[in-house]
Amino acid sequence: MPIDNNLMHCKGFNMKKKLFALVSFSLLVLAGPLYAAEGELATFGLAIGAGLAIGIAAFGGGLGQGKAVSAALEGIARNPSASDRIFTPMIIGLALIESLVIYGLVIAFILQGKIA
pLDDT (tens digit per residue) in 77-100:
999 999 999 999 999 999 999 999
- Residue-wise DSSP of 18-51: HHHHHHHHHHHHHHHHHHH--THHHHHHHHHHHH
CATH superfamily name and code, 39-115: F1F0 ATP synthase subunit C (1.20.20.10)
Nearest CA among 47, 75, 64 for reference residue 100: 64
33-88 tens-digit pLDDT? 666 666 777 788 788 888 888 998 999 999 999 999 999 999 999 999 999 999 99
Q: Taking each helix axis from N to C terminus, what angle separates 5-36 and 40-78, rounded to the nearest 10 degrees?
A: 150
Provide the residue ranges of all domains of the chain, joining segments of one domain with +. 1-36, 39-115
Provide, for the chain, the percentages of residues in helix, strand and coil under a 3-state DSSP scheme, each rounded to the nearest 5. Answer: 90, 0, 10
